[in-house]
A and B are shown apart, each in its own frame.
Chain A
């Protein structure tokens, strides 16, 4: 019985180590994108994509959201959705402020 628990623990660790490796690899990928891609939409999309992939891995495997009930999973994603709404609601203000700053130069 103890041996089974020991084996199960090692099996569990292996999964965490694989996710750890992926997270480190994606960090290096993001670093490369930050350094070599020119500032613009492509760079922003690549970095947002890598960031969301990392967050999903941490949430699903490290925080065990993968095994939680659907209602709890949906609650945890509320901040990301709300921040997107907040960002796009502010975009007219951003455009107006940038335009005013341009003409006041």
Chain B
């Protein structure tokens, strides 16, 4: 009998054991992870669709000629830097340093705002050159190029926008004294996910 109880306790304590907290995290943080995984599947669909279109297209415009790589690199640096500052904000929140956490949250917000403004500039420049969802001025036979650009960067840009709203909401609540270290961590998870998606888009769409 004792052996059975010991075996049950061993299973419950293992990574797959279940129990009261099978993932060893708060429900709100776990729900953010579930959202991130489901959203990652959406982006995975986009990236695979892009891979399909790219491999069946007879030609593809040279990204170095179409895009301003200086601007794209600057945008990438801004987003990675904001992600690093967000990690520092979570670190400060875990240490109970509310003031520092809020300061880092606003710095993260600034990084995201710089990224989004640069993307708006890139889009307006692109549209000014004649690019449309169904028309590619650099290679009219390959309209997939602009379609992929607008859909992928647009969907990502919308995520950055919602991330900014979430960051502002978290920072304002914290400033009003309704501070929650868990809330900062959840906002951080979402913001890092946005960074991860951009890492894929930067490499596969702009560089490959």
> Measuring CB to CB, which residues of chain A are less than 8 angstroms from any residue of chain B?
5, 8-9, 12-13, 16-17, 19-20, 23-24, 27, 30-31, 33-35, 43-44, 47-48, 50-51, 54-55, 58-59, 61-64, 68-72, 75-76, 78-80, 82-83, 86-87, 90, 93-94, 97-98, 101-102, 105
The residue on A at minimum CB distance from B206 is A34
B192 touches A62 (CB 8 A): yes
B196 touches A71 (CB 8 A): no
Give the chain B neighbours of A20 by CB distance below 8 A. Answer: 80-81, 84
List 26 A-B pairs, Cβ < 8 Å. A5-B95, A9-B91, A12-B91, A16-B84, A17-B84, A19-B87, A27-B73, A35-B69, A47-B204, A47-B208, A55-B196, A59-B196, A62-B83, A62-B86, A62-B87, A63-B188, A68-B23, A68-B25, A72-B30, A76-B37, A78-B37, A79-B37, A79-B40, A82-B44, A83-B48, A94-B56
B208 touches A44 (CB 8 A): yes
B192 touches A27 (CB 8 A): no
A69 touches B36 (CB 8 A): no
User: Counting CB contacts under 8 A, is B64 at the interface?
Assistant: yes
Give the chain B neighbours of A33 by CB distance below 8 A. Answer: 207
The residue on B at minimum CB distance from A48 is B203
Q: Taking chain B's interface residues, is the majority helix, strand, or loop, or is none over half, making it mixed?
A: helix
Q: How far is the CA of A48 from the CA of B88 in the complex (A)?
A: 27
B95 touches A8 (CB 8 A): yes
Q: Out of A12, A69, A86, which one reaches B15, CB within 8 Å?
A: A69
User: Counting CB contacts under 8 A, is B4 at the interface?
Assistant: no
4 smallest beta-carbon distances between A and B, as pairs: A34-B207, A83-B44, A20-B84, A79-B40
With contacts A43-B208, A83-B47 taken as known, whether A9 is within 8 angstroms of B84 at the C-beta atoms is no
Give the chain A neighbours of B36 by CB distance below 8 A. Answer: 76
A13 touches B80 (CB 8 A): no
B208 touches A69 (CB 8 A): no
A34 to chain B, nearest CB (A): 3
B206 touches A71 (CB 8 A): no
Give the chain B neighbours of A70 by CB distance below 8 A. Answer: 15
The residue on A at minimum CB distance from B30 is A72
